[in-house]
Chain A
């Protein structure tokens, strides 16, 4: 059973059209939830870590929120440079390991 599910798989936006990405998880004892950005042909780049329900973090046009069962990555007034694949990962209990979702590919058209 998948621990981390991301939706939608792909998202096409017009520049300035705000939207949200979803990451739902089923692990018990969440230690941390991570968001990464990945550009084509490159390694994942760290964006945020969320640790407890109700927590929110922001970076430029991105805002990540966390509940007990899911996390949202909100993209406000996106620009073409926000086009990328966004990955969600969870860390459970006392484990170092990360379990990743399959990602959401965001394309922002000018």
Chain B
């Protein structure tokens, strides 16, 4: 198993450009999410999905779009990049379920984004 994979590892954008950050997992996990990590602020949830075709907003959704057409993939789209979106982006996944001992979230290696 590759676990959670993210591409690209690093990207530089100009203000106003668009791009898609890719995330894939091969563990058949229902739940997937996107976080951004900024110095001194911890990880903040952008969007999440509890299964194919179902997405919802997290704490900081503005400027980002997501879709979930398959269980494996959960891409994050920046429609018009802004310098405030310079950050490190992490994708995570876990098995679904409301049981108390459900599996924890596993994180990808991250995408470092610089918006000029």
A binding-site residues for B, Cβ under 8 Å: 4, 31-32, 34, 36, 41-46, 49, 51, 87, 89, 94, 96-103
Bound complex: CA of A101 vs CA of B43, how far in Å?
7
Contact status A101-B104, CB under 8 Å = no
Contact status A46-B43, CB under 8 Å = no
The minimal Cβ–Cβ distance linking A88 to chain B, given in whole angstroms, is 9
A-B contact number at CB 8 A: 52
Contact status A100-B110, CB under 8 Å = no
- The B31-82 residues at the A interface (CB cut-off 8 A) are 31, 33, 35, 40-45, 48, 50, 58
* Cβ of B2 under 8 Å from chain A: no
**Contact A44:B43 (CB < 8 A) given known A94-B98, A98-B105:** yes
Give the interface size bracket for B toward A: 20 to 34
Bound complex: CA of A101 vs CA of B92, how far in Å?
17
The minimal Cβ–Cβ distance linking A21 to chain B, given in whole angstroms, is 14
Contact status B48-A97, CB under 8 Å = yes
Contact status B90-A103, CB under 8 Å = no
B binding-site residues for A, Cβ under 8 Å: 4, 31, 33, 35, 40-45, 48, 50, 58, 90, 92, 94, 98, 100-101, 104-110
Name B's interface SS.
strand
Name A's interface SS.
strand
Contact status A43-B110, CB under 8 Å = yes
The minimal Cβ–Cβ distance linking B102 to chain A, given in whole angstroms, is 9
